[in-house]
Amino acid sequence: MSRERDRITRKLEENPVKECNQIQKKFYPELFSRFAQVKDPRHSSYIEYSIKEMLGTVYYKGIAGISSMQGMTREFNDEAVCRNLYRFMGNNAKEYLPHGVTVNELLERLEPAELEEIQSDIVYRMIRRKTFDHAKVLGKWLVLVDGSELDEGKTQKNDNYLSRCYNRGEENEYTRYHRSVLEAKIYFGNSLVCSMATETIENSAEYNEKKLTEEEIKQDCERKAFVRLAAKIKKRFPRLPVCIVADGLYVSEKVLKICKANGWDYIIRYKEGCAPLLKKEYEAIPEKNKAGKAEYVNEVIYRDMEVNVLKYNETKIKKGEPVTTEFAWITSITITDKNAMKLVEAGRNRWKIENQGFNRQKRWQGDIEHACSFHERAQKNHYLMEQISDFMKQLYEYYCLKKKEIRKTQKNISSELLASFGRQLTGPEDIPARLNDSVLN
C-alpha cells in the first residue's frame, strides 16, 4: 500500500476509541450495565467510586493496552481523559478516575465468579446473534483449550504459585515460581477467539498446609485443571454443541471419557511419544483411507475405547527448500472423504488460542504476564477483565480496521487507542470556563 493510500484509509477512522466504543455497543451494549450489576463487596459508607466506575476503568486499561496499575494511574491522570472515560461509562464526570491502589483493594475482595458471569454472558450473546454461525464445524462450536504460564520469577508472591526446582540435589539448585492458567476459548471465525471459561492452575490449601498423603502431594497441572474447566463449561452451556480442540497433552483416557460423558466431540493432536500404543495400533492397519493430502482410519483401538485417526502432511518452502510437517489428530467424529479436510482445518485452528489468545495478550495488546497485584484473587480478576477487554478489541480490529482496510501494527493499535482517549471533546460547551485560562489584552 502506498503512503497516499495509507493516509486516505487512516482518515476513514475518525477516532479510534470512538470506533471501538461503537463496536462494543453494537455487539455487547449491556457491558457497563453488567458492570453495574456486579455485587459490590465494599461497605456502602466507604464507596467513593461505583462498581461500574471501578470495573470500567480496568476495562479501558485493557483497551489501552496498559500493563501495570501504576501506568494506568499515570495515563488516566488527565482532565480530558478522565472526563471522556466517565462519559463512555455513562456516568457524570468526577475530578479523578479511581487510583490503581483503590482498584486493587476492590479486586482483592471481589468474587471472580461475578466477572465469570459476564464472561459467560458475552459468549452467550455472541452465539445468539447468529453472526458467527459460519465458524461452526459440522454443526459444532470449536472450543480451543490450552494452558499458559504467567508471571514467572524467583519470588513466590502468594501461596497459590506453583514451583519448579532446577538442578535438584546439586550445589547450584534453585527454585522458580509461577502462576498458570488453563483457558477455553470459543472460535468465532476470522481469527476471533473469545474466552468462555478460565481455570487457574494453582496449589490448593490442602497442598500448602501439607494435609495430603505422600501419594497425593503433587502440584496442580493442566490435566487436573481440565476436569474442573470441563465441569465449568458444561454447567454454563449445558446444551451447547461443543468440539474440544487441544494439543497432545490431552491424549488421555480421562479427557476422552469426560468429552464422551458431556456429549462433546473432540479433535486432539497427538505427536511422537504421547500415545505409543495408539501409533502402534494405527500402523498395524494395512489399508488406510486417502482424501487429498489427508490419510485416515476410523475405529482405531485406544485403551478400552475406539478413536478415529487423521493425518495430514503440510509442505512449505523454507530457504528455497521444501519442508514437510506431519500433523496427526484423534477425533470422535467419523472421518469421511468429504469432511477430512474440514477436520484438518479445525485441528489446525488450535494455534489461534496461542496466537490470537495468549501471544497477543502477552506481547501485543497488553502484558498478562505482569502481576498487577500480589493478591491471588485480584490476579484472577485482573486476568478476567483482560479477557473481556481483549475480545472487544478483537471485534474492533476486525469489524473496523480490517473492514476499512486500515493497516496498523499490533503494537500501534493500543497506543493509538490510548492517545485518542483525550480527543473526544467536540464543542466549547464541553469545556468548563476558568478565570485563570483567560488572557487579558
Q: Taking the CB of residue 229, how many other CB atoms lie within 10 A of it?
A: 24
pLDDT above 70: residue 366: no
- Give whichever of 9-23, 340-354, 367-381 has the largest mean pLDDT: 367-381
Q: Which pTM value belongs to this model? A: 0.87
Q: How confident is the model at residue 430 (pLDDT cuts 50, 70, 90)?
A: very low
Q: What is the pLDDT of residues 123-160, one digit of tens each?
A: 999 999 999 999 999 999 999 998 888 888 888 888 88
Candidates 352, 367, 302, 359; CA nearest to 329 is: 302
Structural contact between residues 378 and 104, judged by C-beta atoms closer than 8 angstroms: yes
Structural contact between residues 231 and 261, judged by C-beta atoms closer than 8 angstroms: no
For 353, the 3-state DSSP assignment is helix
On whether residue 35 sits in a domain, the answer given is yes
On whether residue 130 sits in a domain, the answer given is no
DSSP 147-172: EEEEEEES---STT-EEEEESTTSTT
Alpha-carbon 396 to chain mean position = 16
37 — alpha (psi -120 to 50), left (phi > 0) or beta? alpha
Q: How confident is the model at residue 354 (pLDDT cuts 50, 70, 90)?
A: low
Domain count, the chain: 1
Q: How confident is the model at residue 26 (pLDDT cuts 50, 70, 90)?
A: very high
- Grid cell listed for 271: 505427536
* Cα–Cα distance for residue pair 207/228, rounded to 1 Å: 17
On whether residue 420 sits in a domain, the answer given is yes
Cα angle for residues 355, 360, 365 (degrees, 5° grid)? 165
On whether residue 377 sits in a domain, the answer given is yes
Q: How confident is the model at residue 432 (pLDDT cuts 50, 70, 90)?
A: very low
Candidates 39, 56, 36, 52; CA nearest to 109 is: 39
Backbone Cα Rg of the chain: 25
Average pLDDT over all residues of the chain: 86
DSSP 94-128: -SSPPPHHHHHHHHTTS-HHHHHHHHHHHHHHHHH
Of 87-96, 131-140, 242-251, 341-350, the one with minimum mean pLDDT is 341-350
DSSP 399-436: IIIITTT----HHHHHHHHHHHTT----SGGGS---GG
If residue 282 lies in a helix (H) or strand (E), which one and from where to where? helix 276-283
Q: What is the pLDDT of residues 169-209, one digit of tens each?
A: 888 888 888 888 899 999 999 889 999 999 998 875 545 45
On whether residue 267 sits in a domain, the answer given is no
- Grid cell listed for 280: 502402534
- Virtual CA dihedral for 230, 234, 240, 245, nearest 10 degrees? 0
pLDDT above 90: residue 20: yes
- Grid cell listed for 428: 466549547
* Cα–Cα distance for residue pair 198/143, rounded to 1 Å: 12
If residue 322 lies in a helix (H) or strand (E), which one and from where to where? strand 321-331
On whether residue 19 sits in a domain, the answer given is yes
On whether residue 39 sits in a domain, the answer given is yes
- Grid cell listed for 248: 497432545
Domain interval for residue 100: 3-109+373-427
pLDDT above 60: residue 438: no
Q: Taking the CB of residue 293, how many other CB atoms lie within 10 A of it?
A: 13
The residue among 103 and 175 whose pLDDT is bigger is: 103
| Cβ contacts of 387 within 8 Å, gap of 6 or more | 119, 195, 198
Over residues 5-21, the mean pLDDT reads 76
